Every structure is written in structure tokens, then in C-alpha cells.
Amino acid sequence: MTPDETTEPDPTDEPTDREVVETASRAAEGVVLDRYKQSELHDFDVTVTFVDGVLDVDVYVNPPAEAAADADEVADEAARAARDAVDDLFDGA
């Protein structure tokens, strides 16, 4: 290895759009599945886009009627978790 070569990643490298979307999706889904058993959910959907540096997270949860956790609160918490995970991703970049 020459003195100009390095094994460290370039600290100016930003996460790719795909990495941002995957990170946000995993975080949001994790919150939803932490609050509800997947087998009990009627439906849930996490949609994440990252275009021109703008993150958009939409979470839809349709739990059973007898679910203890409020679907709107869980969806909001999941969206916040997605944004926080992406912030952490960029802070580590």
C-alpha cells in the first residue's frame, strides 16, 4: 500500500438514496411490528421516498379492533423512528 492509499471510507461519502429508503423502512416497520403481532394486523404499509434530499415517510396501520395500541399514534411513532434512523445514518456518514 502506498502512502496515498487508505482503507478507511471517504468521510465525504453520503448514504445512497437506496440506503436512506431501506434504513427508514426498516425503522418504521420495526416500530409497527413491535406494537402489534404481524399475524393480528389486518394490513400495514410503509412507503418511503427520498428524492432530492427530501425524505417522505407514510405509514398506514390497520390493526384489529381490540388492539391496545392506537393505530394513528403507532403510525406517527413509526414515521418519527424512520426520520431519526435516517438522521443517524447521515450523522455517521
- pLDDT digits 0-9 by tens, 6-63: 455 555 688 999 999 999 999 999 999 999 999 999 999 999 999 999 999 999 999 9
Distances (CA, A) of 62 to 13, 17, 35, 56: 38, 28, 12, 20
Class of domain 17-91: alpha beta
Q: What is the CA radius of gyration of the chain?
A: 17
Q: List the chain domain ranges.
A: 17-91
Cell numbers that stand for 8 in this block: 478507511
Give SS3 for 61: strand
Total residue count of the chain as it appears in this document: 93
The pTM score is 0.83
In the block, residue with C-alpha cell 453520503:
14
Give SS3 for 91: helix
The residues that bridge with 60 in the sheet, in sequence order, are 45
